[in-house]
């Protein structure tokens, strides 16, 4: 566990953890030495009280140093605990930000929520509470055994052997429980995912009268209860086995003493001294074993953090097999192919260019791949085949900052931050003046709505924008995109939740943006499409037609079929 933590932590925090381990190891050695000296002092007291002074002085000195070192170690431990948790949160947050959106399945989202809210805070207690007894359980018996060599080297060896046996017993019982813990965790994650689904899909569950969904949830919760019982059932035999082994080892040490007494190779005072130490070491070992369950859980948590961190992020660098960049200041899409996870190909051999200025409309039947094209242009995923270039540079060779500085999006599943309308719009360009924000609000058709809301731009939108209607949310997103004035603006279904008047306002804004940069609109609205400088027609993941409305409207093909369906298709 320690090794994994060192690997995960940034250099500064890892160094602090090493420092803490050294202090704890020193404290454990001093603890063992003090125990050994206790045995020697008792032996000296029983043998001849006059010889006790040097042992007693050594014992007191060892105890004093031990207490000081232990205090320092504990102070460091609390600080390292909180810094470790913070560093893990930051590391996970940074890593999640670089993962493709396809990674965020509901079950993985549940895992991440569980790790961020429960797992990582639990790990905070590892340096502060669990590391010390773990190190003590191993190091203190070793140090005590070596100190006992001052009294009898045979006992020293016997204690070393007993320590090794105790250690292996504890590891064996831990291994038994780990498999059950893993199973329990899997059903807990499944239950969390069911709970999230049950909570978020209430409208569907109620209106569709789906009693099975509640059944799924209660089955998942039953499984959690059963797995917890199984887990408790495995921990108990492990603890009993460890306790039994400790008692057998203690009896063996006593038996050895009796045998050596009978052979007159050991005196009774040494035997008493050694057995006192052995009894104390049994207690130290048992404390370590009792905390082993907590340690196991933390190790499992750490394994799950490693699993998240091992997920392949979208990388930045020169892509393999890259061809010479095309001299174009807009977007060029070359032979694009894409499949979600290992599913079917949803885009196949798609190539097109967006000139550095102008409005392009992407049209096609539902499921033809329009949103997927927009997602690849925004690099939410990397293409399975082909490439996307912005001003001649493959998106994969650009850092996230470089790309997103040039990109504004209004997507179907856009999210508003839990702050005011004004702040949400301003996230696009924090340095924007009040006049620029007002202009974006006007151009997005938000003016009347903002005036009607209490507080105007200071109106809080609620989590995810829940205090706004669908159309209001969409217009805030449009205003945000307008304020950004990016080189490329992607509008996916941007006018779907708008009434005709506001829809026209947004289209005017899109045309305005298209005078300064590239605008790609995915729309089902004839007015938008007819006014575009270029129309791209997708059918089942393939680009089947391109041109202007005038060029395509009378040509037999999908476009003519689509527009013949009416104003909206």
Ligand X SMILES: Nc1ncnc2c1ncn2[C@@H]1O[C@H](COP(=O)(O)OP(=O)(O)OP(=O)(O)O)[C@@H](O)[C@H]1O
Cα–chain-centroid distance for residue 260?
A: 59
Of 117 and 366, the one with the shorter C-beta distance to ligand X is 366
Site string for ligand X, 338-357 (x = CB under 6 A): --x--x--x-----------
Of 71 and 104, the one with the shorter C-beta distance to ligand X is 104
Of 413 and 554, the one with the shorter C-beta distance to ligand X is 413
Q: From 201-209, 363-371, 446-454, 554-562, give the range in contact with ligand X by CB under 6 A.
A: 363-371
Helix (H, G, I), strand (E, B) or coil at 405: coil
- Closest contact distance (angstroms) between CB of 521 and ligand X is 12
Name residue 307's beta-bridge partners. none
Provide the sign of the torsion angle of the four alpha carbons 385, 386, 388, 392, taken in this order.
positive
Of 372 and 424, the one with the shorter C-beta distance to ligand X is 372
- Closest contact distance (angstroms) between CB of 367 and ligand X is 4
- Closest contact distance (angstroms) between CB of 565 and ligand X is 14
SS (H, E, C) 91-103: HHHHHHHCCCHHH
- Closest contact distance (angstroms) between CB of 415 and ligand X is 16
- 71 near ligand X (CB under 6 A): no
- Closest contact distance (angstroms) between CB of 27 and ligand X is 53
Of 266 and 362, the one with the shorter C-beta distance to ligand X is 362
Of 207 and 366, the one with the shorter C-beta distance to ligand X is 366
Question: How many Cα neighbours within 13 Å face the side chain of 105?
Answer: 10
Which of 469, 455, 448, 472 has the alpha carbon at shortest distance from 420? 455
The one-character DSSP state at 386 is E
- Closest contact distance (angstroms) between CB of 6 and ligand X is 37
Question: Residue from 39, 364, 383, 517 that binds ligand X (CB under 6 A)?
Answer: 364
Q: From 188-196, 257-265, 319-327, 360-368, give the range in contact with ligand X by CB under 6 A.
A: 360-368
Q: From 32-40, 152-160, 362-370, 436-444, give the range in contact with ligand X by CB under 6 A.
A: 362-370
Which residues make Cβ contacts (< 8 Å) with residue 488, sequence separation at least 6?
A: 331, 354, 377, 390, 406, 407, 408, 517, 518, 519, 520
Of 168 and 340, the one with the shorter C-beta distance to ligand X is 340
Joined together, the tokens standing for residue 381 give 């995923």
Of 364 and 445, the one with the shorter C-beta distance to ligand X is 364
Name residue 535's beta-bridge partners. 361, 547
Of 87 and 562, the one with the shorter C-beta distance to ligand X is 562
Of 369 and 383, the one with the shorter C-beta distance to ligand X is 369
CA distance 98 to 91: 11
The total of other beta-carbon atoms located within 10 Å of residue 483's CB is: 22
Helix-helix angle 106-114:153-200, to 10 degrees: 130
- Closest contact distance (angstroms) between CB of 375 and ligand X is 7
Of 364 and 422, the one with the shorter C-beta distance to ligand X is 364
Helix-helix angle 434-443:500-516, to 10 degrees: 130
CA distance 477 to 496: 13
* 321-340 binders of ligand X (CB under 6 A): 340
- Closest contact distance (angstroms) between CB of 229 and ligand X is 37
- Closest contact distance (angstroms) between CB of 366 and ligand X is 3
Phi, then psi, of 326 in degrees rounded to 5: -85, 145
Site string for ligand X, 232-271 (x = CB under 6 A): ----------------------------------------
CA distance 364 to 464: 29
Which residues make Cβ contacts (< 8 Å) with residue 109, sequence separation at least 6?
A: 193, 196
- Closest contact distance (angstroms) between CB of 500 and ligand X is 20
Q: From 71-79, 364-372, 422-430, 525-533, give the range in contact with ligand X by CB under 6 A.
A: 364-372
Q: From 67-75, 181-189, 359-367, 512-520, give the range in contact with ligand X by CB under 6 A.
A: 359-367
Site string for ligand X, 365-404 (x = CB under 6 A): -xxxxxxx--------------------------------
Residue 338 CA: distances (Å) to CA of 229, 335, 344: 45, 10, 9
- Closest contact distance (angstroms) between CB of 369 and ligand X is 4
Which residues make Cβ contacts (< 8 Å) with residue 245, sequence separation at least 6?
A: 165, 166, 169
Contact, 2 vs 21, CB < 8 A? Answer: yes
Of 26 and 536, the one with the shorter C-beta distance to ligand X is 536
Q: What is the DSSP string of 102-164?
A: GG--HHHHHHHHHIIIIIHHHHHHIIIIIHHHHHHHHHHHHHHHHHHTTT-HHHHHHHHHHHH
Of 21 and 372, the one with the shorter C-beta distance to ligand X is 372
Sheet holding 331-339, edge to edge: 345-354, 331-339, 385-390, 393-394
CA distance 253 to 158: 7
Sheet holding 407-410, edge to edge: 407-410, 488-492, 518-522, 358-363, 534-539, 542-547
Of 346 and 479, the one with the shorter C-beta distance to ligand X is 346
Size of the site for ligand X (CB under 6 A): 11
SS (H, E, C) 310-373: HCCCCCCCCCCCCCCCCCCCCEEEEEEEEECCCCCEEEEEEEEEECCCEEEEEECCCCCCHHHH
- Closest contact distance (angstroms) between CB of 184 and ligand X is 30
- Closest contact distance (angstroms) between CB of 409 and ligand X is 14
- Closest contact distance (angstroms) between CB of 506 and ligand X is 18
- Closest contact distance (angstroms) between CB of 106 and ligand X is 11
Residue 428 CA: distances (Å) to CA of 89, 256, 481, 558: 26, 78, 7, 37
Of 193 and 371, the one with the shorter C-beta distance to ligand X is 371
Contact, 424 vs 417, CB < 8 A? Answer: yes
- Give me the residues that bind ligand X (CB under 6 A), please: 340, 343, 346, 364, 366-372
């Amino acid at each position: 566990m320690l090794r994994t933590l060192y690997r995960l932590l940034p250099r500064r925090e890892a160094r602090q953890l090493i420092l803490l381990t050294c202090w704890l190891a020193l404290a454990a050695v001093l603890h063992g030495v003090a125990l050994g000296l206790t045995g020697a002092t008792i032996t000296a007291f029983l043998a001849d009280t006059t010889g006790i002074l040097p042992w007693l002085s050594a014992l007191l000195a060892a105890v004093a140093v031990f207490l000081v070192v232990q205090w320092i170690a504990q102070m460091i431990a609390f600080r390292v605990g909180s810094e470790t948790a913070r560093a893990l949160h930051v590391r996970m947050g940074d890593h999640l930000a670089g993962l493709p959106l396809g990674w965020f399945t509901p079950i993985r989202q549940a895992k991440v929520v569980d790790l961020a809210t429960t797992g990582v805070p639990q790990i905070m207690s590892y340096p502060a509470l669990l590391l010390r007894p773990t190190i003590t359980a191993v190091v203190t018996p070793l140090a005590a055994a070596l100190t006992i060599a001052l009294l009898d080297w045979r006992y020293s060896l016997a204690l070393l052997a007993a320590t090794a046996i105790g250690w292996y017993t504890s590891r064996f019982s831990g291994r038994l429980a780990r498999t059950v813990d893993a199973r329990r965790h899997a059903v807990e994650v499944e239950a969390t995912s069911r709970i999230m689904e049950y909570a978020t899909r209430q409208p569907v569950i109620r209106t569709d009268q789906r009693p099975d969904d509640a059944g799924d949830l209660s089955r998942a919760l039953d499984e959690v209860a059963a797995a917890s019982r199984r887990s408790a059932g495995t921990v108990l035999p492990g603890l009993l086995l460890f306790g039994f082994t400790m008692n057998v080892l203690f009896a063996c040490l006593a038996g050895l003493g009796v045998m050596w007494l009978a052979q007159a190779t050991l005196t009774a005072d040494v035997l008493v001294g050694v057995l006192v130490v052995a009894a104390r070491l049994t207690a130290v070992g048992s404390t370590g074993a009792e905390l082993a369950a907590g340690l196991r859980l933390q190790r499992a948590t750490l394994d799950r953090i490693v699993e998240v961190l091992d997920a392949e992020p979208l990388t930045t660098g020169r892509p393999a097999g890259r061809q010479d960049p095309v001299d174009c200041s807009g977007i060029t899409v070359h032979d694009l192919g894409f499949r979600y996870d290992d599913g079917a190909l949803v885009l196949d051999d798609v190539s097109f260019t967006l000139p550095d200025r102008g409005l392009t409309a992407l049209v096609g039947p539902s499921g033809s791949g329009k949103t997927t094209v927009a997602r690849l242009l925004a690099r939410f995923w990397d293409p399975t085949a082909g490439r996307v270039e912005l001003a001649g540079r493959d998106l994969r060779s650009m850092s996230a900052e470089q790309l997103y500085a040039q990109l504004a999006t209004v997507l179907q599943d856009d999210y508003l931050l839990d702050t005011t309308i004004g702040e949400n719009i301003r996230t696009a360009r924090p340095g924007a003046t009040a006049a620029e924000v007002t202009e974006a609000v006007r151009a997005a058709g938000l003016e009347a709505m903002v005036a009607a809301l209490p507080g105007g731009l200071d109106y809080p939108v609620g989590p995810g924008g829940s205090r706004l209607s669908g159309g209001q949310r969409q217009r805030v997103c449009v205003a945000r995109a307008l304020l950004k004035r990016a080189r490329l603006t992607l509008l996916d279904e941007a006018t779907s939740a708008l009434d005709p008047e506001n829809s026209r306002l947004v289209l005017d804004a899109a045309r305005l943006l298209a005078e300064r940069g590239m605008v790609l609109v995915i729309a089902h609205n004839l007015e938008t499409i007819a006014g575009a400088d270029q129309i791209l027609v997708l059918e089942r993941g393939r680009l089947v037609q391109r041109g202007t409305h005038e060029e395509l409207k009378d040509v037999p093909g999908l476009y003519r079929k689509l527009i013949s369906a009416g104003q909206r298709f």
